[in-house]
A = this chain, B = another copy of it.
Amino acid sequence: MAKLKFQITMSLDGYVAGPGQSPENPLGEGGGALHEWAFATRAFRETHHLEGAADGETGLDDEHAARWNENVGATIMGRNMFGPVRGRWGDSDWTGWWGDDPPYHTPVFVLTNHARDPIQMQGGTTFEFVTDGIESALEQARAAAEELDVAIGGGAETVQQYLRAGLVDEMEIHVVPLLLGGGSRLFENLDGRPAGYECTELVSSPAVAHFRYARKS
């Protein structure tokens, strides 16, 4: 059956964004370094249309970065992950952080309190704005993904909402040896631990340890 899954990079001290986050600096102080391991890989560079993709690293981290959109038919993300605009959309022309051709190439459902018309991007990505909660977003994303999986794109709050609701089937946490000292904690606001998961894989490179979990069947 199609799964709901996410992957996210966390510092050793538990943060997926650094302290002092702001609309202009969404990853917070030092938070950009969280993703250096991914930026170095060929898979990430290719999916994100970065220059010199062919020179990207291959190997373990590349294999894990490549899973990012593997078998994914739709993505759900929080509004802060989509962009810095707060409150009503008004006449905002914000269409995400990712340029004209975002790396998703599928429908992306953005959780928000404020309705907005869908936005059609190049390369098959559409942003659709969901105002009636996480279950509705998941239902719409599952329908759009057909037999493929649905990914949660982030950020921490959105992931926590789905974990609290017990809806996540698989997760992969990439732990990097950064100490950020503040910011958005991934494992917080969960009413206890996410129960019923088992670690199915733990591997590491010198840059990052990959912890993969699946819901016990």
- B-binding residues in A (CB < 8 A): 12-14, 19, 173, 175, 177, 179-182, 185-187, 190, 192-195, 197, 199, 201-209, 211, 213
Contacts and interface: CB of A to CB of B under 8 A. Distances in A.
Nearest to A191: B181
B175 A179 contact: no
Contacts of A209: 175, 202, 204, 209, 211
B204 A202 contact: yes
Chain A interface, DSSP helix/strand/loop, else mixed: loop
Contact of A203 (B181, B187, B194, B204): B204
A200 to B, nearest CB: 9
A192 B182 contact: yes
A182 B201 CA distance: 23
